[in-house]
Amino acid sequence: MTTLLENEKIEDLLCDGLKIIQSKKLYRFNADSVILANCLFGAEQKSLCEIGAGSGVISLLATKKYAPKSVVAVEVQQVFANMCTRSVELNGLCDKIKVVCCDVSHFAQTNQNAFDFVVCNPPYRKVSKNCVDLSKQICTEELLLTLPKLAKSASLLLKEKGTFVACFPYDRLDEMMVCFKQYNLPLAKVLPVCSKMGNAPRIAVVWAIKGSNEPLEVLPCLVELDQFGKESEQMKRLVATQQL
């Protein structure tokens, strides 16, 4: 029997029976996480680490969609690590996903060159002056996980030629590119993502390869919604087949 805390409920991830525990008051996962979980191309039977796992949606979906050899979900906030652990237990995936509650810098120092893939939906907003909810601020703003800290940690965790996958604001891509190159993680591929056809990209999915010198490839834009506000055919194909 899965234990639910106050204000928690179980939600269906619409993927091979997967369920996830979500809180009605804490930060909830969004479309960015779902997109990322479907963009781990080549992760089959590879070792995978998720940085900032939150409630564990990426780790859960990736395990079902790509069947990696192993998954470690690293989360600094105990409340989310606990929620993630219970979701892993709920889905019977304790033999596939290990949840670690600690700061990623410490985890990276003790697990250098250990992973083929690292994935992260980072808190990519600049730190604001007003803090209404510290837990949500940690999830959305660069309070505990700055861009340089993310780049350094990912580079340490990855094996040579290992792959880092993340999403980031499209208007901050230049900043990300410069930062990650300093840590031997040059961007190899960029997928712009826009909410509707004709809109400017809001984020980009990026792939960075440790130690690579390949030229940057910019893919055609992924459109999330069609003209009627429904999920686009591109998104349906990505979620159903893990193909762009």
Architecture of domain 8-239: 3-Layer(aba) Sandwich (3.40)
Average pLDDT of the segment spanning 103-130: 95
Structural contact between residues 81 and 102, judged by C-beta atoms closer than 8 angstroms: no
Exposed e or buried b per residue across 121-153, where buried means at least 16 C-beta atoms within 10 angstroms of its C-beta: bbbbeeeeeeeeeeeebbbbbbebbebebbbbb
Give per-residue pLDDT as tens, 214-223: 899 999 999 9
Q: What is the pTM of this model?
A: 0.96
Distance of CA 192 to the CA centre of its chain: 16
> Where exactly are the structural domains of the chain?
8-239
Q: Express each pLDDT in 73-105 by its tens digit.
A: 999 999 999 999 999 999 999 999 999 999 999
Which pLDDT score, from 0 to 100, does residue 132 have?
78
Tokens of 99: 């949840």
142-184 confidence digits (pLDDT tens): 999 999 999 999 999 999 999 999 999 999 999 999 999 999 9
Helices (H), 72-196: 78-90, 104-110, 134-140, 147-157, 173-182
Return the percentage of the chain with pLDDT > 70, whole number: 100
Q: Using CA atoms, how far apart are residues 156 and 151, in angstroms rounded to an integer?
A: 9
Q: Tell me what pLDDT residue 119 has.
A: 98
- Three-class SS state of 220: coil
CB 170 within 8 A of CB 203: yes
Collapsing DSSP states into helix, strand and coil, what is residue 31?
Answer: helix
